[in-house]
């Protein structure tokens, strides 16, 4: 007796259905929250409470949907890369070409401030020049896919493109400057003593599309599980500012009439710890309050690229003098970028 074997559905069918559901949800969230806040809850749109509640609910759902989509797509792309392949691509490159390649790889490879130390040890011990390694460490947390997608969704492609170009330029130039300063002596000696053996063929290259999609779903659960408190905190703070904090308070200290607003924003951003997903809702609100975009983006760059927790982690592999030099060079680049944004926008 012959048995009928049912073929396993193509993973692309499930992906297509999920993409369709995502589009429907994304187009429905604004009218849905309008109905919930203004009709079900009975809050008036012109009141501070109504504005704050609507802002929190709408932005939370919108940003979560954007994050799910972009994390999944980038995780699938990242499944073609590994730490070993990244090191192999960067090792032996000349300054300039290597810095540019490192900055581009920093956007698409899975590193952040929490993985700065192992990434640094791995690159330097594999023969990647110090300046190229620092370019990678600057670009990876600052010019990330989450920031670009959220900037596009909140402010349009022009702002996202300008942020991408300026962030990559900053990472390349800072890495070139630091690489030519001969700072290798300020790296802790054990980093150079670490040996990296030869690795076999990267098994990630043999994954099926179904396995890559599973990697993407796992990455969505993993990242959202880590960042959701920061996301809610950032959106909640943005909702409070949106509804209750007067615009005069921010315009007074960081408005267009204050020539020192950009460096003040950078200094305020360094002690903070957040990621692009957590800080962008606050950026959106402050922009609506009249704060110049260059000032706001320099603040965001300082938060994600010069965070105090990352400096504490890097102290394990860098001597204090190199950390100070690194912060000074990158901070100056961020300040110049902020003034550039304010001049052209």
**pLDDT given for residue 203 in this prediction:** 47
List, as one string, the DSSP characters of 201-239. --GGGG--HHHHHHHHHHHHHHHHHHHHHHHHHHHHHHH
- Number of neighbouring beta carbons within 10 Å of residue 149: 22
- Give residue for tokens 């290798």: 184
Closest among 152, 141, 175, 180 to 301, alpha carbons compared: 141
**CA pair distance 235, 237, nearest whole angstrom:** 5
Determine the pLDDT at residue 31: 92
- Give the per-residue pLDDT at 171: 87
Pairwise CA distance, residues 54 & 60, whole Å: 10
Residues recorded for the chain: 345
pLDDT tens, the chain, 345 aa long: 455 555 567 888 888 898 999 999 989 999 999 999 998 888 887 787 888 888 888 888 887 887 788 778 767 876 776 656 666 666 555 667 778 887 887 776 655 555 566 667 767 766 778 888 888 888 877 776 666 777 787 788 888 888 888 888 888 998 888 888 888 888 888 777 755 444 443 444 567 888 888 888 887 887 677 667 767 776 777 677 666 655 556 667 666 677 888 988 888 777 665 666 667 777 777 787 778 888 888 888 887 777 776 677 677 778 889 889 888 888 898 898 889 888 877
Whether 147 and 111 have beta carbons less than 8 Å apart is answered as no
Which pLDDT does position 271 carry in this prediction?
67
Please name which of 198, 295, 303, 289 lies closest in space to residue 250, comparing C-alpha atoms. 289
First to last CA, the chain: 74
Alpha helix (H) ranges present in 39-188? 48-78, 83-90, 97-108, 116-125, 130-142, 145-155, 157-179
* Alpha-carbon span 295 to 129, nearest angstrom: 32
Residue 248 CB contacts under 8 Å (≥ 6 apart), including other chains: none
Cα separations (Å) of 196 from 88, 110, 192, 317? Answer: 11, 20, 10, 16
DSSP letters spanning 221-286: HHHHHHHHHHHHHHHHHHHHHHHTS-HHHHHHHHSTT-TTHHHHHHHHHTT----HHHHHHHHHHH
The CA radius of gyration of the chain, in Å to the nearest whole number, is: 22
């Amino acid at each position: 007796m012959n048995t009928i074997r049912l073929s396993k559905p193509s993973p692309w069918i499930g992906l297509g259905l999920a993409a369709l559901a995502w589009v429907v949800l994304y187009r429905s969230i604004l009218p849905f929250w309008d109905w919930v806040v203004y009709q079900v809850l009975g809050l008036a749109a012109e009141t501070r409470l109504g504005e704050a509640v609507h802002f929190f609910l709408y932005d939370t759902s919108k940003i979560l949907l954007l994050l799910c989509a972009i994390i999944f797509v980038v995780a699938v792309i990242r499944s073609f890369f590994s730490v070993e392949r990244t090191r192999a691509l960067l090792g032996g490159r000349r300054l300039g070409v290597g810095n540019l390649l490192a900055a581009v790889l920093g956007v698409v490879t899975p590193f952040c401030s929490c993985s700065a130390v192992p990434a640094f040890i791995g690159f330097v011990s594999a023969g990647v020049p110090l300046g190229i390694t620092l370019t990678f460490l600057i670009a990876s947390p600052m010019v990330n896919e989450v920031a670009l997608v959220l900037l596009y969704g909140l402010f349009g492609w022009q702002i996202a493109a300008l942020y991408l170009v300026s962030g990559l330029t900053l990472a390349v130039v800072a890495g070139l400057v630091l690489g030519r300063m001969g700072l290798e002596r300020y790296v802790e000696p054990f980093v150079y003593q670490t040996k990296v053996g030869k690795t076999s063929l990267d098994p990630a290259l043999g994954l099926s599309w179904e396995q890559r999609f599973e990697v993407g779903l796992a990455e969505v659960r993993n990242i959202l599980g880590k960042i959701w408190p920061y996301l809610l905190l950032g959106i909640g703070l943005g909702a409070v500012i949106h509804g209750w904090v007067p615009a005069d308070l921010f315009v007074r200290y960081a408005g267009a009439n204050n020539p020192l607003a950009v460096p003040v924003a950078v200094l305020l951003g360094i002690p903070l710890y957040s990621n692009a997903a957590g800080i962008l809702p606050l950026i959106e609100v402050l922009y609506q309050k009249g704060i110049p975009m260059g000032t706001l983006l320099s603040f965001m760059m300082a938060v994600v690229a010069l965070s105090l927790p990352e400096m504490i982690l890097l102290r394990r592999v860098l001597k204090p003098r190199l950390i100070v030099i690194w912060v000074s060079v990158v901070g100056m680049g961020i300040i110049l970028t902020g003034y550039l944004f304010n001049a052209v926008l």
